[in-house]
Amino acid sequence: MTSSNLPKHVAIILDGNGRWAAARGLARMQGHQHGAQAVRLSVRACRDRGIPYLTLYAFSVANWSRPKDEIDALMRICQEFAEGEHDELIRRGIAVQVVGDLEEIPTPTRRAMEKLVEDTAGGTEMTLALALSYGGRRDMANAMRALAVRARAGLVIPEEINEHSLRNFLTTSSMPDPDLIIRTGGEKRLSDFLLFEAAYAELFFTDTLWPDFTEATFEEAVATYSRRQRRYGRTGEQVRRLAAST
């Protein structure tokens, strides 16, 4: 597989931790702990293949409705990841950013994440984005609100607002749109993840539960992506002619 066939930005919906634990008679928290290992694997898989952007849907806005003990466990795991992977991410040149609303995250976890973002800012090999307290609809609503404020202040003309100006106010604005979105756990939906950005993303669904996610699963998703023809509204013949001319 050549680098031209690789996605530039992979996004993953991490699903199945609870079911993985239940199938083994374990507490849900243990499923989340095992899922953290799959996070490390996915980061390494992207880094080793030269894929420059990886976004992980770690905690959604809707996840705040889960039982408090599970939320607390997830926040601890996020904090442990930020602290435990800090030096390794710096060493590997991986810049970390957070998409979503960090202000809603408990203080110890938020501070650990903020330090990780700050200390890895110089990384140039890869960007790892963690979606925390993230919701695609809310992100779009916040972006539209910011644009409305600027329009009211006379800083932007309403007639000039388009998809590009809206994109600039999303929390994902520093990254390209995802080329490939992977969802584990057997479900086939986006669950409010990157709704604006996913307009032309290729989707890959697998029954593999997130703690069982392996490099082979990742390779299957990337190989499937490489075989698809991305037309962006063009015909297949147009795409072939364009590829031949470059």
- Is 122 flagged in the annotation as binding? no
CA dihedral 62, 63, 69, 70 (to 10 degrees): 150
What is the tens place of the pLDDT at every residue in 142-166? 999 999 999 999 999 988 899 999 9
Query: What is the percent of the chain where pLDDT is above 70?
Result: 91
Number of domains, the chain: 1
Query: Which of the residues are catalytic?
Result: 15, 63
d(CA 221, CA 42): 12
pTM of the predicted protein model:
0.92
Residue 243 token pair: 């590829």
Distance CA 64, CA 182 (A): 23
Domain assignment of residue 139, yes or no:
no
Asked whether residue 52 is assigned to any structural domain, the reply reads yes
66 is in an annotated binding site: yes
- Residue 86 pLDDT: 97
For residue 188, being part of any structural domain is answered with yes
Percentage with pLDDT > 90 across the chain:
87
For residue 241, the enclosing domain spans 9-134+171-245
- Stated length of the chain: 246
- In the chain, which residues have pLDDT < 70? 1-4, 230-246
Residue 210 annotated as part of some ligand binding site: no
CATH at residue 225: 3.40.1180.10
Three-class SS of residue 121? coil
In angstroms, the CA 78 to CA 220 distance is: 27
Flag whether 136 is marked binding: no
pLDDT reported for residue 5: 86
Residue 241, pLDDT score: 64
